[in-house]
């Protein structure tokens, strides 16, 4: 079974998940999108309203801004896979509850196991606190790289935070240029 088939099977499993209240209130499951063969995985916290309506992660205003950064630093859609910790939208776009994360993190771990990325970029503080370390401070630690289980990982500002505070856009650009450079280096290595 190839990665695309494995991902489709996992998505079916997620569709039938109603372990928390979010599974009952979602419009659509927001599983993920992108290339399951990619070396880069982008991870956010939870779907927003537009994502819930379309069933795709990062398609609202924040997603459009993220797409702009990815295009600018020459990371195309074939270069990454993007998903969230939660697969269902929390009401009013509130932060995910720890119990919701606990229930849903297994799905993200399974996605990550299928993809086997070389680079993980957490989009925002909440994803970084869950994936990198619990006391992650986004304003101090964005763009700092760590290695965990053979995977290089970092966090950048969540694109929604940039919409609220455009002064951080330059820092985001610098961080994304490093992500792009690391990805280009990895692509040169024999697989």
The 10s digit of each residue's pLDDT in 46-65 is: 999 999 999 999 999 999 99
The number of folded domains in the chain is 1
**pLDDT for the residue 92:** 87
Q: What is the CATH number of the domain that holds 111?
A: 3.40.470.10
Residue 121 has pLDDT above 80, yes or no: yes
Please list, in sequence order, all residues whose beta carbon lies within 8 angstroms of the beta carbon of residue 15, skipping any fewer than 6 positions away.
Answer: 29
The rounded mean pLDDT for the chain is: 96
Is there a domain that residue 45 lies in?
yes
pLDDT digits (tens, 9 = 90+) for 31-45: 999 999 999 999 999
Is there a domain that residue 191 lies in?
no
Residue range of the domain that includes 99: 3-186
Is there a domain that residue 74 lies in?
yes
Is there a domain that residue 66 lies in?
yes
Q: What is the pTM of this model?
A: 0.96
Q: Which of 7, 54, 59 is nearest to 26 (CA)?
A: 54
Mean pLDDT of 6-25: 94
Please list, in sequence order, all residues whose beta carbon lies within 8 angstroms of the beta carbon of residue 74, skipping any fewer than 6 positions away.
Answer: 180
pLDDT digits (tens, 9 = 90+) for 133-146: 999 999 999 999 99
Is there a domain that residue 168 lies in?
yes
**pLDDT for the residue 78:** 96
Q: Are 99 and 36 in contact (CB under 8 A)?
A: no
Of the pLDDT bands very low, low, confident and very high (cuts 50, 70, 90), residue 191 is: low
Mean pLDDT of 76-104: 94
């Amino acid at each position: 079974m190839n990665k695309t088939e494995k991902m489709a099977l996992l998505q079916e499993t997620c569709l039938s998940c109603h372990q928390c209240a979010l599974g009952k209130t979602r419009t659509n499951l927001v599983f993920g999108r992108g290339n399951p063969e990619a070396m880069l995985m982008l991870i956010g916290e939870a779907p927003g309203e537009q994502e819930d309506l379309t069933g795709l992660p990062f398609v609202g205003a924040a997603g459009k801004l993220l797409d702009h950064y990815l295009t600018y630093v020459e990371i195309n859609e074939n270069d990454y896979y993007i998903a969230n910790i939660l697969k269902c939208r929390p009401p009013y776009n509130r932060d995910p509850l720890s119990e919701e994360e606990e229930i849903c993190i297994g799905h993200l771990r399974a996605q990550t196991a299928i993809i086997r990325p070389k680079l993980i970029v957490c989009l925002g503080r909440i994803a970084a606190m869950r994936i990198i370390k619990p006391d992650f401070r986004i304003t101090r630690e964005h763009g700092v790289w760590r290695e965990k289980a053979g995977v290089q990982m970092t966090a950048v500002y969540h694109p929604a935070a940039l919409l609220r505070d455009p002064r951080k856009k330059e820092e985001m650009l610098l961080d994304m240029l490093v992500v792009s450079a690391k990805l280009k280096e990895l692509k040169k290595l024999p697989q």
